[in-house]
Structures are given as C-alpha cells and as structure tokens.
Structure 1
Amino acid sequence: MKVNEEFSKHAIDAAIKIAAVAILTYFCFTILRPFALLVTWGAIIATALYPVALFISNKTKLSKGKASGLLSFIGVILLLLPLFFISSGIYTSSSEIITGLQNGTLEMPKPRASIQDWPIIGDKLYSALMLSYTNIEEAIATYSEELKSIATKSASILGSVAGGLLQFIISTIIAGLFMANADKCQAGMVKLVTRISDGKGDMLVSLSKKTVRGVVQGVIGVAVIQSVLAMLGLVIADVPAAVLWALAVLIVAIIQLPPILALLPAIIYMFSVESTLAASLFFIWCFLVSASDTFLKPMLLSRGSDVPMLVILLGALGGMATSGIVGLFVGAVILSLTYKLLEAWVNEGSESE
C-alpha cells in the first residue's frame, strides 16, 4: 500500500512539473514567436561571420565587441543601400511617368520588328508595344486591366523585397550582438547541448558551426557573388529594375538552379531594344555569371560540410514558402544542419553496434 501511495505521489509531482514546464514553454514560444525567424537568421549570420570579426579584431587591435559592432554596422549600411535605391527609383520612375502623361511628353521606344518572330507571344507583344509607341493614351485604355494586374503584382513583389531587406537589417544588428558575446553564447550552448545529449555538447556544437559556415559559404555565399556580378552587368547594360533581376538571380542560385534562368527575360529585353553586339556581350556576361559556380562552389564548399543539394533545395523552397525571402536563407541552413546532426546520430548508433 505504501509503495502505491509513494508511486502516486511521485507521479502526481512529475505530472505537475511537466504541466508547469509545458505551460511556461508555450507562453514563452507565443511571446517570442514573432522574433524567432529574425533571431535564428541573426544567429546564423553571427556563426558565419564571427571568423571575420576575429580577423578584424586581430588586424585593427580592436576588442572583439567593437570589431563585431563594426562588422554589423557595415552590413547594415550595405543593406540600406539597395533599400534606398529601390525606394528612390520607384519614386523617381513614378513621378516621371505621371508627369509625362500629364504633359503628353511620355514616349515609348519603338519596338523591333523581330519581336513578331518570337514564339507564342511575339505578335501580341509587338502589337501592344507598337500601340504604346504610337498612342500611349490609347494603349493604357486598351490594356488597363493587364496594367492594373502587373502594377498590383509589382507592388506586392517590391513590398516583399523591402520587407525582406528590413528583416535582414534587424537580423544583422542581432548578429552583431551575438558576435560581441560569442564566447558566452558558445559556452551556454555547449552546456545546454551537453545536458540533453549525454555529454556530446562540444562535438555537436562544433559540427553545427562547421555545417552552418559550410552552407553559408558554399551555397549562400556563391549565390550572393553571382547576384552581385549579375547586378553589375545589369547596371552597365542599363536594364530596368536591375535590383529585382539581381534578387531573382540570388533566389534561383540558392535553390540550386542555373542563374541564367532568372536572367532570360533581361536577355530577351536586350536583344529586343539594343544592338546585336551589346545584347550578345550581355548574354556572354550572363552565361559567365551562371557558369561561375563551377569553380566557386568547389573552392568555398571545401571549407565546410558537404550537404546534398536536394536537402538545400527543399530547405530553401520550404523556407521561402513559409517565411518569405528570409526563410529562403534560414530554411536552407536549418535543414542542412538537421541533416548533418541526424547523420551524426545515425552513424554513432551504427558504430556502437
């Protein structure tokens, strides 16, 4: 009887403790949920860039905290630039279009006759462009519904891009705080992982850092480089909405598809409005940008963990579907990290047998 009473007492105590922990965990999750993605991306950025902060600290004799703050400040400035260009470009373009329509001075370039030879859309596109060239008012009236749809979708895309850049800025600031307290963060994470992994905290934390840096360098890093190179070519070629095309290159490169797929509309545009020589040079540049991953990936991936491209693809697509642009990056890293930790756990089980 005493045994049953003791068992019941311990069972009730355990149930109360579990319930209390579950309730606290639920409320903490609910409170912190809006910041979870930003903090996670900030931690990923901090893990990837901390060696750079140490390099700056060693070279400039700054403290780790100041070097981390400087690196974070530089990142915020670099992210503010495209946000400024997007907003100023939208304002300037909108003002010019409205003023041109009001004054009757808005002119469209004359389309090339070769556009008619394009499959499926050639004739309709040429007719619309020709009408815009000869009578812009009539073209707006004729294609008002299509223009409204395009304007709505464009506004949605631009809003998403601006929101994503703002999230990047916040995460970069959070990353600076993490890097400034890197030693404490790592010590705390090692203790936590050691507690829940039977003394394997150092090994698992080390594997996590290696995986995060490998994916950021070998996948996201390559995508950023290709995006910047594409942006350079787009600006020199004076292609409209260069920032958006560069962003498309970034997304396509992260999901492991050839970046030239994102540049095809820009290439078609160049061949339709520019000389054959200029369009051909732009195409060659786009091809070189797309092919650059053949030597960039082996060079950068060799510094990190090898993760199957399918895992990265699923993580990027799933993250983007659930959390937008920031989720594209976070999803690829988190799923890759989960894969490597699962692989380590499976291999450990096989070795113990």
Structure 2
Amino acid sequence: MNDLQQGRHDLPKLMFCMLFILIMMITSFWVIQPFIMDLAWAVMVVIATWPLLIKLQILLWGRRSLAVIIMTLLLILFFVIPIALLVNSLLANSAPLIAWASSPANMHFPAMEWLNAVPLVGGKVYNSWHSLIAGGGNEILAKLRPYVGETATWFVAQAAHLGRFVVHLTLMVLFSILFYFHGERVAQGIRRFAVRLADKKGDSTVVLAAQAIRAVALGVVVTALIQAILGGIALAIAGIPYVTLLTVLMFILCVAQLGPLLVLIPAIIWLYWSGDPIWGSLLLVWSCILGTFDAVLRPALIRKGADLPMILILFGVIGGLLSLGMIGLFIGPVVLAVSYRLLSAWIDERVKS
C-alpha cells in the first residue's frame, strides 16, 4: 500500500514522463513542419468538396476510386494549371513589362482626339484636357516614371514565391487524394479525439469548424473565382494586355472582399486613354454588373455554412498573406472563421445557461 502511494506521488517520475512526452511532441512537429500548411490546405479543400465527392461516387456506381480521379482532375484544372500558367506568364513577360513601364514613350498623356466626336460636351472636355497637358502634366509623369518601373520590377520578382506556391499546390493535391480515399476514417479519428478531450462539446466543436471551413470555401473562394474568371474573360475580349496577371489579381482582391473593380476601373480608363471608347463603354457596363454580382451569389452559397462577418474575412486574407505568403490567402480566413464560430458558440452557451 505504501509503495502504491509512493508511486502515485513520485514527482521526478512524473516530471520525466511529461518531459518525454513534450520531447516527442516537439520532435513530431519538427518532422512534419514542412508539410503542415499543405496538410491544412488539403483538409480545407476536402471538407469543402466532400459533398461533391459523395455525389460523384453515387453517380459512378459507388466506385470511390473513380470519384477520386475526377476530383483530382478538377483540382488540377482549377488550381494547379492556372497558377502554373501565371508563373510562366510572369517569367515570359517580365522583360517586356519592365521595359514598357520604364520607357518614356509609354509615359505620356494621349491626345484623346475621339473626345471631339462626343456631342455637347466633347469639345469643352477636349480643350480642358489639352490645357491640363500644357500646364505640366507630362512633367509629372516624367517624375513618376522611375517609381513605376521599380514597382513593376518588384511584382515580377514575386515569381519565385509563386513558383514555391506551385510546389505547395502539388503537395496539397497529393494529400487531398489521400484524404478523399480515407476521409471517413480520418473524420472519425478527429471526432473521437475531440470527444476524448471535451466529451460531446468536442464533437460539436468539430462540426462547427467544418461548417466554417465550408462557408469560407463556398461563400468567399467560389464567389471570388467566378468573379475573377468573368472579369478576366471581359478583359481578354476588350484587348487588355497581361490578362492572366490581372485575373489572378482580381481573384485576390475578390477574396479580400475588395471586389474586381480595382482592376476593372483602371482597365476602363486605359481603354479610353488609348482611344478605344467603344470597348471602354462596354467594359464599364459589364463592370457595373460584375461589381454587384457577389451581393447575390455569396449569400446563396454561404447559407449552407456559417454566417461570417466580411471584416473577419478581410483580416484573415491580409493577415494570412503577410504572415504565410500566398498560401495564407486561403488559410488565414479559415482560421479566423473557425475561431469566430467556436467563440460565438461558447458565448451563446454561457448566455443560455
């Protein structure tokens, strides 16, 4: 009996056990640390697209392998290939882009002769425009030219980071394949671990986290992807250069809830600037439609998930991008969304009790 009580209160033994467990946890984290972001990204993708996988499996006579092959092809089509094309476009067009931005011939005010054809106010606007140019407008552009060239050089230099991002995309696809095949087993393990930590509350916490992930994926990422694709098609039809780069920039801005107009409006100004008012007017009309498109689509996609404040998504995108790079663009809002949902559930539970 005394030996049993002594074993229970053996402080050095308890400390060594805790130290051993801590060392094993740190070592395990150190080993998998290069893949944590890719694993987290794969988990988010699989959770968001799991209902689609199940529907495909039902349509394909219950064959999980065929459904996984189709989902893998969709991931490659919508994630890996566009980013690879972006990197290739940046590397191929880097020299012409820097040369164009630094060339004095490209940094001057246009004549805008087409303004004379505009009824009523065209002549007055044309005269005012040339008065502005005569008042020193081109001198201002000459002073801004070096900064424009440096900015273009900085953006092109980010191609190396985008190349690393392609590697993360590839690992994300590989991990997603594994999770697609063994999703039920992984989900059961996570829920059992959560129940072991916090009983039934742990299981409900896992469900809330999954809802938050799906809400971000459907209500934010899918909406931004559709807006960026439609905006990119419009830019390509209107003849805007560097469409691939501008489309990706539109996607980032749409995820950040800033909308596509920050790219479309300068494109409209450029069309008028270069003397193409017809395409400029058409792009203006399309931009007005596309700018309000998310107000209709996002609520329709997000209602199956969690209702999240847009300021939360904005902080998640910007903070994730600054702290984790390009991959943080997706992980940042998800982490904040999950934390927000869990905190809200905890507060509501305390208030009700």
Unaligned segments of structure 2, at least 5 residues: 99-104, 113-128
Cα distance in structure 2, aligned partners of 1:197 and 1:336: 21
The answer for the alignment partner of 2:203 in structure 1 is: 202
The answer for the alignment partner of 2:49 in structure 1 is: 49
Instruction: Report the TM-score when normalising by structure 2.
Output: 0.82
Following superposition, the deviation at residue 236 of structure 1 comes to 1.1
Gap change, CA 1:38 and 1:121, over 3 Å in 2: farther
Cα distance in structure 1, aligned partners of 2:45 and 2:137: 45
Gap change, CA 1:11 and 1:292, over 3 Å in 2: same
Gap change, CA 1:334 and 1:294, over 3 Å in 2: same
CA offsets per residue over residues 301-325 of structure 1, 9 Å max, x none? 1111112222222211111111112
Following superposition, the deviation at residue 94 of structure 1 comes to 6.4
CA offsets per residue over residues 207-237 of structure 1, 9 Å max, x none? 2222211111011111111111111111111
The answer for the alignment partner of 1:79 in structure 2 is: 79
The answer for the alignment partner of 1:183 in structure 2 is: 184
Q: How does 1:59-98 map to 2 (within 5 A)?
A: 59-90=59-90, 93=93
The answer for the alignment partner of 1:163 in structure 2 is: 164
The answer for the alignment partner of 1:329 in structure 2 is: 330
The answer for the alignment partner of 2:19 in structure 1 is: 19
Cα distance in structure 2, aligned partners of 1:109 and 1:328: 33
Cα distance in structure 1, aligned partners of 2:235 and 2:173: 27
The answer for the alignment partner of 2:267 in structure 1 is: 266
Q: How does 1:232-251 map to 2 (within 5 A)?
A: 232-251=233-252
The answer for the alignment partner of 1:343 in structure 2 is: 344
The answer for the alignment partner of 1:139 in structure 2 is: none
The answer for the alignment partner of 1:104 in structure 2 is: none
Following superposition, the deviation at residue 96 of structure 1 comes to 7.8
Following superposition, the deviation at residue 92 of structure 1 comes to 5.4
| C-alpha contact 1:218 1:300 (8 A) present in aligned 2 | yes
Gap change, CA 1:333 and 1:147, over 3 Å in 2: closer
| C-alpha contact 1:69 1:177 (8 A) present in aligned 2 | no
| C-alpha contact 1:79 1:169 (8 A) present in aligned 2 | no
Cα distance in structure 1, aligned partners of 2:180 and 2:279: 46
Cα distance in structure 1, aligned partners of 2:62 and 2:138: 63
Identity value in percent:
24
Cα distance in structure 1, aligned partners of 2:91 and 2:199: 58
Cα distance in structure 2, aligned partners of 1:319 and 1:170: 19
Partner SS state of residue 307, structure 1:
coil
Counterpart of 1:152, as a letter, is: T
Cα distance in structure 2, aligned partners of 1:194 and 1:147: 56
Q: Mean alpha-carbon deviation: is it higher for 85-94 or for 18-27?
A: 85-94
Following superposition, the deviation at residue 350 of structure 1 comes to 3.2
Instruction: Report the TM-score when normalising by structure 1.
Output: 0.82
Following superposition, the deviation at residue 263 of structure 1 comes to 2.7
The answer for the alignment partner of 1:36 in structure 2 is: 36
| C-alpha contact 2:213 2:338 (8 A) present in aligned 1 | yes
Q: How many residues align?
A: 330
Counterpart of 1:220, as a letter, is: V
The answer for the alignment partner of 1:134 in structure 2 is: none
Partner SS state of residue 325, structure 1:
helix
Gap change, CA 1:242 and 1:197, over 3 Å in 2: same
CA offsets per residue over residues 243-280 of structure 1, 9 Å max, x none? 22112221222222232123332222222124211111
The answer for the alignment partner of 2:124 in structure 1 is: none
Gap change, CA 1:147 and 1:200, over 3 Å in 2: closer
The answer for the alignment partner of 1:152 in structure 2 is: 153
Cα distance in structure 2, aligned partners of 1:330 and 1:265: 29
Q: Mean alpha-carbon deviation: is it higher for 162-171 or for 226-235?
A: 162-171
Following superposition, the deviation at residue 109 of structure 1 comes to 11
Q: Does 1:217 align with 2:215?
A: no
The answer for the alignment partner of 1:112 in structure 2 is: 110
Gap change, CA 1:292 and 1:121, over 3 Å in 2: farther
Aligned-pair Cα RMSD in Å: 3.3
Partner SS state of residue 304, structure 1:
coil
Gap change, CA 1:161 and 1:291, over 3 Å in 2: farther
Unaligned segments of structure 1, at least 5 residues: 99-106, 130-142
Q: Mean alpha-carbon deviation: is it higher for 42-51 or for 214-223?
A: 214-223
Gap change, CA 1:11 and 1:96, over 3 Å in 2: closer
| C-alpha contact 2:108 2:141 (8 A) present in aligned 1 | no
Following superposition, the deviation at residue 42 of structure 1 comes to 0.6
CA offsets per residue over residues 328-351 of structure 1, 9 Å max, x none? 111101110111112222323333
Cα distance in structure 2, aligned partners of 1:224 and 1:33: 29
The answer for the alignment partner of 1:101 in structure 2 is: none
The answer for the alignment partner of 1:140 in structure 2 is: none
Cα distance in structure 1, aligned partners of 2:13 and 2:309: 46
| C-alpha contact 2:108 2:138 (8 A) present in aligned 1 | no
